[in-house]
Amino acid sequence: MLETFRLNGRLLAAGDRLVAPIGLTSARWQVIGAVALAGQALPVAHIARNMGLARQSVQRIANELEAEGLISFADNPHHRRARLVGLTARGRKVYDAAILRNTAWSDDLARGLKSQAIKPALRLLREIRKRLERNELNIK
């Protein structure tokens, strides 16, 4: 677990440096990315759950992103208080720019690693995440 925490810290720090030139942080990128990948507007609580983040943190970031014109809030026909978060055209441009930067950076990071090593590692990480999402562990 410690190695995973260290990796996460390094990824967040590198992500901050990667997207800083386009006005994002890793946290903002995660929120914009969650909406972009969903393909539809989502309530803040769904974004938080999908990304494993606290709802209050996502709400704070969403408020900042809306103030900058990167996302917009819309009424939710299923829940009066849980407004839907959607990308604006400007938000889509910023997200696309982040993905372009990420693709080049990820390619550099993976250079020299064998796909035979990456694929099982990815399966392992997904399985651990799924177990945590299902709360299979009895933590006391």
In tens, the pLDDT along 112-125 reads 999 899 899 999 99
Helices (H), 2-77: 2-19, 26-38, 44-51, 55-67
With respect to residue 140, please indicate whether it lies within any of the assigned structural domains.
Answer: no
With respect to residue 138, please indicate whether it lies within any of the assigned structural domains.
Answer: no
Which residue segment(s) compose the domain that 26 sits in?
A: 2-133
Q: Is 53 helix (H, G, I), strand (E, B) or coil?
A: coil
Determine contact, residues 91/64, Cβ cutoff 8 Å: no
With respect to residue 24, please indicate whether it lies within any of the assigned structural domains.
Answer: yes
In tens, the pLDDT along 66-85 reads 999 999 999 888 887 889 99
The total of structural domains in the chain comes to: 1
Q: What is the pTM of this model?
A: 0.85
Q: Is 115 helix (H, G, I), strand (E, B) or coil?
A: helix
